[in-house]
Structure 1
Amino acid sequence: MKYLVSAPRPDFQGAIVGVHFRDGAATVDPTADNIQRAALQYFQRANYSMVAVEETPAEPEPGSSPESTEDLFDPNTRSVEEVLAHLADADADEQARVLAAEAAGKARTTITSKGDQS
């Protein structure tokens, strides 16, 4: 089942923990992969408004090429050292997304404890 997630700002355009929002809304499919599942868990913890929705194909904006979750850094396929290096160079949204994916996946304390230090 997919969920329609509403950003705190209804006009928000951009990515939050690897999920792309348009006009303050995004669709998350927790069955797609660990990254989407972790993002949904992040949105739940952060008290984002969420509604279960029927599956409908999303149409990309004309002239845009949305980032695929396949292109996102997946900590569950990387070593601790690789994840820590990625976190050191990542912005706050990417750090939150990667830490959420790690917590939902391997949950290695060496990595997840970095979220406690932010």
Structure 2
Amino acid sequence: MRFLVTGVLSAIVDFSITIALQYGLDVQLSLAKAVGFVVGTTVAYLINRRWTFAAAPSRKRFVAVVLLYLATFGVQNVLYTLFGHLWPETVVYSAVAFVIAQGTATVINFVVQRTVIFRVS
């Protein structure tokens, strides 16, 4: 449940920044998504480490999370950009593309964090 709450909060941050940059400031869609992702995943990491998984700070864990987030960034950005080029560039279609990309990355993040990075003994 905590992972879900954290994910929703982080996704709201990511989506808000992505849409504000893309439609408010006319930033290219994959760059807007990249900035939103970096801010959203930073929020997610900080909350997940302290609240969701109650893990002590660890350089090794931090590096593992950075590598995981780089991988899921690639997945998210490819999916968001792909749908952004297949569908008309509107806020509604961008929201649907965001949900698909975010949902895919969330599943990957949860599985890897739960089973590898923040493994429960």
**TM-score bucket of the superposed structures, by smaller chain:** under 0.3
State the TM-score, normalized to the length of structure 1: 0.24
State the TM-score, normalized to the length of structure 2: 0.23
| Greater strand proportion | 1
